[in-house]
Amino acid sequence: MHIQRCGWCTSDPIYMAYHDQEWGQAVYDEKTLFEMLCLEGQQAGLSWITVLKKRDCYRAHFFQYSIAEIAAFSDAELAEKCQDAGLIRHLGKLTAIRDNAQAWLRLKQQQIDVVKWLWAFAAQPKLNNNVPHYADAAAQSAESQRMSKTLKKMGFKFVGPTICYAFMQAVGMVDDHENHCTFKTPPLPSDKS
């Protein structure tokens, strides 16, 4: 079978593997959702491939740890991490990972199932958008705007509506694969898209 991919996916093996095996797949694992929310924030102002190429280093510094351990990182530890060229050396972005871990824990302390809570922002049933070309895909939505506003209120950082929409695309809350893409979910019979 000949595989057709979205136009944004270059021939870089890291990008192709991400597109084929992760992007748009529904994620319900708490740690993975936390990682993706934080990584989308690291992308701000940069290309996603930059983040993907540094993901192993982010995992070594942050995401191999529990959310509680990340929440306890000191300012000095974050400043030290900022020296590693394997990360995006932006202290505000790295600090946001710790701040997001603290905000995540505060939600859990309120007996909130953060996975269900995040998924509640997604349109039901899942939006399967009409995307003839990736440049036609939305950059944000009413759902991502609501998610962004709520996350910011809860103390999350680097979670603007565009970042939240990219997160929703990445974790399968929205299907924005191009219409010709092999990985596009077939529209539901009720879809008007």
DSSP assignments along 49-86, one per residue: HHHHHHHHHHIIIIITS-HHHHHT--HHHHHHHTT-TT
Contact (CB, 8 A) for 107 and 114: yes
Q: Are 175 and 127 in contact (CB under 8 A)?
A: yes
3-state DSSP: the chain helix, strand, coil percent, rounded to 5? 50, 0, 45
Distances from the Cα of 80 to the Cα of 55, 69, 84, 85, angstroms: 18, 16, 8, 11
Active site residues: 18, 40, 48
In contact, 138 and 165? CB cutoff 8 Å: yes
By residue count, the chain amounts to 193
